[in-house]
Amino acid sequence: MTVFRGTVLDTPDDPFTGGELRSEQDAGLLVVDGVIRARGPYVEIRRDHPQEEVVDLRGGLVVPGFVDAHVHYPQVRAIGGLGLPLLDWLDRCALPEEARLADPAYAATVADEFVRSLVQAGTTTALVFGSHFASAVDALFAEATRVGLRVTSGLVVSDRILRPELLSTPQRTYDEGRVLAERWHGTGRTRYAVTPRFSLSSSDDLLDACAALGKDVPGTWFTSHLNENLAEITEVARLFSRSVDYLDTYDRHGLVSGRSVFAHNIHVRDRELSLLAAQGAGVAHCPTSNAALGSGLFPMRRHLEHGVPVALGSDVGAGTGFSLLKEGLQAYFHQQLLGPAGLPLRPAHLLHLATRAGALALGLGDQVGDLSVGMAFDAVWLRPPSGTTADLVLRHATSAEEALAKVFALGTTADTAGVWVAGERLHG
Ligand code: GUN
Ligand code: ZN
């Protein structure tokens, strides 16, 4: 048993539907076997548990562990390829690097770098786009398990358009995916996600194989890309002439459900939003990637008006880093830039998007995403190094809301002073 002491901020009540930021100065959280069993003013928790070890996290803020709803494991080293639109960026920056993961030793090194990067950023749960190589996906699951992160991931599959080393077949998609899913789905903190790269690189037979795999290993997740870039969308429409829109290319194969998460969804039609909402499928908004590739401004207001669950994704390596603080700030910027079509976001919205919204989109809302009694103690201690601008500015915040705004405005991964998953410290 441990008592964690600090200023705790979270969003158990959705700020998008009127909930307020919950903030408690000098709170105490009693954690037993990784789960929060009591919470309240520190003096009261301490009075009731005078013998327990106290972890003092005063100074800075304690927030729920971040949830990254879309991030590519084989692209850590591809971060920073600026100046290209999606399809050129894939050809020149991302896919040559992804091909290197055919080498298991290389993949093991990248898996270590990737998991380390997530932890450094304060990300404790992630939906991860895996690799096209089964051995590399194994390496990721093994490393995530060793470190203790909550990772949902899978073999990325494609059978056309990409460079030949990255292509598979419907049969291999099923067979290799089945072995991985049976090994890792529901094992400890890992889960399996069936992952066709995008419709552009998937035949109907491949998408059928994905659907069969998802059916035969119950409870698995599904993730892919959707409506990211105009050239991509035009080409998908040409290749799938029977489909009425991009989402329909997945829906025809039964791949849109409450266990599906689609990345981007910028250039979306109302029919698609209605279908996503009806099925309970989530969308990962990836603002730094959308800006870096010039993909467009995300219509968050339309998603929320239709009732589509929206979470945040770093989309590394098109995204410019692992920090969900940066993604939150950029999400705020993009809504500002949309003018009247944008959704004005307050700090509580940004925290919610980076934490609880991700947990809900990944079906983990009963375990992680806020720091209520009954939830796992997955948390980040944000404490800027002494003397930095972020430290000075944070010290002068006059309210919790203001402190949170300052953390999103100035925070970087350097401000991650500690990270816990289920009460175990991973970093700091
Ligand atoms: N669409 C298909 N593959 C990718 C990828 O790796 N990154 C992004 N941003 N979009 C994609
Ligand atoms: Zn992506």
Q: Which ligand is nearest to the CA of 94?
A: 1
- Per-residue DSSP letters for 215-275? HHSTT-EEEEEES--HHHHHHHHHHTTT-SSHHHHHHTTT--STTEEEEE--S--HHHHHH
* 175 inside domain: yes
* 349 inside domain: no
Q: What is the CATH number for 262?
A: 3.20.20.140
How many Å apart are CA 221 and CA 259, to the nearest integer? Answer: 5
Please indicate whether residue 90, judged by its CB atom, sits closer than 6 Å to ligand 1: yes
- Total structural domains within the chain: 2
- In degrees and rounded to multiples of 5, residue 65 shows phi and psi of -55, 145
Nearest CA to ligand 1 atom 3: 197
Nearest CA to ligand 1 atom 11: 225
User: pLDDT tens digits, the chain, 428 residues: what are they?
Assistant: 999 999 999 999 999 999 999 999 999 999 999 999 999 999 999 999 999 999 999 999 999 999 999 999 999 999 999 999 999 999 999 999 999 999 999 999 999 999 999 999 999 999 999 999 999 999 999 999 999 999 999 999 999 999 999 999 999 999 999 999 999 999 999 999 999 999 999 999 999 999 999 999 999 999 999 999 999 999 999 999 999 999 999 999 999 999 999 999 999 999 999 999 999 999 999 999 999 999 999 999 999 999 999 999 999 999 999 999 999 999 999 999 999 999 999 999 999 999 999 999 999 999 999 999 999 999 999 999 999 999 999 999 999 999 999 999 999 999 999 999 999 999 64
Q: What angle do CA 135, 137, 141 make, to 5 degrees?
A: 115
- Say whether both 211 and 319 belong to one domain: yes
Residue 67 is which amino acid? V
How many Å apart are CA 428 and CA 418, to the nearest integer? Answer: 4
Please indicate whether residue 98, judged by its CB atom, sits closer than 6 Å to ligand 1: no
Please indicate whether residue 156, judged by its CB atom, sits closer than 6 Å to ligand 1: no
* Residues spanned by the domain of 196: 66-337
Q: How far is the CA of 129 from the centre of ligand 2 (A)?
A: 7
Q: Which ligand is nearest to the CA of 318?
A: 1
- Say whether both 74 and 133 belong to one domain: yes
Pocket test for ligand 1, best of 68, 70, 71, 72 (most atoms within 8 A of CB): 72
Q: Which two tokens stand for residue 160?
A: 């056309």
- Say whether both 172 and 282 belong to one domain: yes
Pocket test for ligand 1, best of 68, 158, 228 (most atoms within 8 A of CB): 228
- Say whether both 45 and 164 belong to one domain: no
